[in-house]
Amino acid sequence: MKEIKLKVNGIDYILNIDEDIRLIDLLRDKLRLTGTKEGCGEGECGACTVIMDGVSVNSCLVMAFQADGSNILTIEGLEEEGKLHPIQKAFIEEGAIQCGYCTPGMIMSVKALLDKQPYPSREEIRKGISGNLCRCTGYNKIVDATEMAIKYIKEEGV
């Protein structure tokens, strides 16, 4: 067992963890933040994407102890006071969600992209989400939703 300190969605935690668990196990099994999904478990599909110290990571490839001292944002942390984040709102309105399994990871990748680059082109959006696989949508509604989210973020000043 190892004691780690980290911040998840703005809340500070001190946790005793087994050394062999991954960040996704910590999030889903210890903290019960099951919005983050496990897809392939080997860093190829992006379903488990979370933001760690401002950078999008596959939480299946990060060991939990490596997250010691870090600041993690998951899909559950986007909503503020019951209000959806503009990216979430745009995904719903544009029909960028079909089966929904890739959606939490996809939204976190869009968030990481827009945090770094607030006005990406469509090609840059495609590049930004290219680590997240989606079998249903053909991605175009996701790119549309990202463009809509950019507009919402500008209007709302989030």
Partner 1 sequence: MKKKGVGIGISFYGIGYGNGFPDVSKAVVRLLDGGKIGIYTGATEVGQGSKTVLSQIGAETLKIDSKDILFICEDTSLMPDSGTTAASRQTYNTGNAIKTACEKFREELLDAAQRELGLNSVSGLTMEKGEIYLNFFPHKRISFKELSKTYKDNPIEVEGIFTAQTVEMDSETGQGAPYWPYTFNACGVEVEVDTLTGKVEILKAVFAQDTGRAINPKLVEGQMDGGFAMALGYALFEDLEIDKGRIKNNKFSKYLIPTAMDMIDVKNIIIEDPENTAPYGAKGIGESVTIPITPAILNAIYDAVGVRITEIPVTPSRLLKVLADKA
> Which chain residues interact with partner 1 by CB under 8 A?
40, 42, 44-45, 94-95, 97-100, 122, 125-127, 129-143
Q: How far apart are the first and last CA of the chain?
A: 39
User: What CA–CA distance (Å, rounded) separates 85 from 142?
Assistant: 15
H helix intervals, the chain: 23-25, 86-94, 103-116, 122-128, 140-156
Smallest gap from residue 35 Cβ to partner 1 (A):
17
CB nearer to partner 1: pick between 15 and 131:
131
CB nearer to partner 1: pick between 50 and 110:
110
Given a contact cutoff of 8 angstroms between Cβ atoms, the answer to whether 24 and 77 are in contact is no
Burial of 33 (0-12, 13-18, 19+ CB in 10 A): buried
Smallest gap from residue 57 Cβ to partner 1 (A):
17
Smallest gap from residue 88 Cβ to partner 1 (A):
17
Smallest gap from residue 38 Cβ to partner 1 (A):
13
CB nearer to partner 1: pick between 70 and 103:
103
